[in-house]
Amino acid sequence: MTLLEGLQVLVIGLGTVFLVLIALSGAVSLESRIFNLFVKNRKEAPAAEITAKQEEVTVINASAGELKLINVDERTAAMIMAIVSDESQIPLSELKFKYIKALD
């Protein structure tokens, strides 16, 4: 095989890799859109039921502004903020938290 033929393999090979992965990217995007549409429709219906189970929201006036705690007690929130500060190596005084919400 000559180098020129090798170059052809490069163009065809890399081109095919891109083609397959671009097609895959399109398919995954489409899949996500369909699911999001489906989930959106389902969320709208039982919205009334959800309001019955109200979230417990606490608002704290911190030095850097307001912090909302949703279903989280202050002790846990303080712990989370300390961990984030430690992991990110950013002093707590330089971090701003808008809200901390407990996930089910």
> Smallest gap, in angstroms, from Cβ of residue 75 to another protein?
25
> Smallest gap, in angstroms, from Cβ of residue 7 to another protein?
7
Binding residues with another protein: total (CB under 8 A) = 30
Segment lying near another protein (by CB under 8 A), choices 31-39, 51-59, 61-69, 72-80? 31-39
44-103 binders of another protein (CB under 8 A)? 88-90
Phi, psi of 64, deg, nearest 5: -95, 15
**Residue numbers at the binding site for another protein (CB under 8 A):** 1, 3, 6-7, 9-10, 12-14, 16-29, 31-32, 35, 39, 88-90
